[in-house]
Amino acid sequence: QQQVKQSPQSLIVQKGGISIINCAYENTAFDYFPWYQQFPGKGPALLIAIRPDVSEKKEGRFTISFNKSAKQFSLHIMDSQPGDSATYFCAAKEGLRGSNYKLTFGKGTLLTVNP
Amino acid sequence: NAGVTQTPKFQVLKTGQSMTLQCAQDMNHNSMYWYRQDPGMGLRLIYYSASEGTTDKGEVPNGYNVSRLNKREFSLRLESAAPSQTSVYFCASIVGRWNTEAFFGQGTRLTVV
């Protein structure tokens, strides 16, 4: 079953607008929630992340909102720019036995910011 | 500082052929992962190696084998390639018990005809 559900699959926003991408999870063992950004032809790269004891984290124009009771988190991109056009993945981390861990990714959102 | 290096970058195989995708990291990380990326499917975990000497199945392991050769290298083998294995394959090295970060390679675009 899909452990991390991401929506929408694609998103078109005008320059200067707000982009919002949502994710939901079921596994309460998840204890860390990063977002990755991927440009065409490249591997994903960490954008911003949040721990479940925090409800919001902001880095520049990027903000994660986290709702632990609803098991949902979202990425907000303020003042969206054409250079933000990329695929965005939410992810969730769970610890395994010992000091090991596993990252599970959502299906991704293709964001297009029109000039 | 190369980070995670994957080879080859592109490959075309005929159905039934075998090949090995190579991955090496120079960051001294314990954990390494193989994902495949398909349109509309996101990143799906094939196999992972939490530490040298161990490997575990991920979400879509069928048709693949892996070898954690040493701490630096983690290879993915297709024994008998099928068109359904046409995909972009990413190797990742993962670090951090609490603030976990994955470092991805550039990817291998594989086409099976």
A14-50 confidence digits (pLDDT tens)? 999 999 999 999 999 899 999 999 999 999 999 999 9
Confidence of residue A99 (pLDDT cuts 50, 70, 90): low
B chain contacts of residue A108, beta-carbon cutoff 8 Å:
42-43
- Nearest CA to A95 among A10, A28, A5? A28
pLDDT for res B51: 86
pLDDT for res B2: 73
Percent of chain B with pLDDT over 70: 97
Residue among B38, B100, B108 with most chain A CBs within 10 A, to mutate = B100
Tokens of A75: 């990425």
Q: In a 3-state reduction of DSSP, which class is residue A80?
A: coil
Contact call for B43 and A108, based on CB within 8 A: yes
CA B20 to chain centre: 10
pLDDT for res A98: 65
pLDDT for res B105: 95
pLDDT for res B94: 86
Contact call for A43 and B100, based on CB within 8 A: no
Residue B40 near chain A (CB below 8 Å): yes
Any idea of the CA torsion for A91, A95, A97, A98, to the nearest 10 degrees?
Answer: 120
CA A10 to chain centre: 13
Contact call for B45 and A44, based on CB within 8 A: no
- Higher-pLDDT residue of B40 and A88 is A88
Nearest CA in chain A to B103: A45
pLDDT for res A1: 62
